[in-house]
Amino acid sequence: MATCSAYSTKEHLQVLNGFLAKSDGKDKLTALIQYACLFISAGEPGSIKKVQASVTAARKVFRVMRPLESITPLINQPGFAGNSPKLLQAINKLKAAFMAIYFGADHFVWAHQIGLITDKPTGERFQKLSLWSWALGSVCTIA
């Protein structure tokens, strides 16, 4: 039996990404329920809004390792390679970095929301970091 050190970082990341791919489908299903409830409730208080908030919290479990999943392409291929344009490769690397920051910061936002992080300015900073990282990662997707 091989020891843990016999495996490369790339092999560890491939196994981890395969595991995470299985939870991704569950995350997408709960996202569908979350946004359907948000649409139905129109943001107004009530039982549907409570379901939406509960499902939002439940999605965190499926997204625990998403920062690592998002940054894996940068770890596996840190430089530029192949025949595709360097600008396109740079945009894809920026997208991976921004999305990893978004998912990581979102975990801190969640920790603040449930009271694990009690400092309000810290929670607000992570909320802004999460929002800006998501926005910039989304812009990179469009480009």
Give CA–CA dist 22/34, Å, rounded.
19
Per-residue pLDDT tens over the stretch 13-53 = 887 777 767 767 777 778 888 889 889 988 788 898 888 88
Its pTM stands at 0.67
Q: What is the 3-state secondary structure (H, E, C) of the chain?
A: CCCHHHCCHHHHHHHHHHHHHHHHHHHHHHHHHHHHHHHHHCCCCCHHHHHHHHHHHHHHHHCCCHHHHHHHHHHHCCCCCCCCCHHHHHHHHHHHHHHHHHHHHHHHHHHHHCCCCCCHHHHHHHHHHHHHHHHHHHHHHHC
Q: Please identify which residue in the block is written with the tokens 């596996």.
A: 76
Residue 54 CB contacts under 8 Å (≥ 6 apart), including other chains: none
> For 52-96, what is each residue's pLDDT tens digit?
888 887 777 777 777 777 888 888 888 888 888 889 989 989 999
Q: Left if phi > 0, otherwise alpha if psi is -120 to 50, otherwise beta: which for 85? A: beta
pLDDT in tens, 106-139: 889 888 988 899 999 999 999 999 999 999 999 9
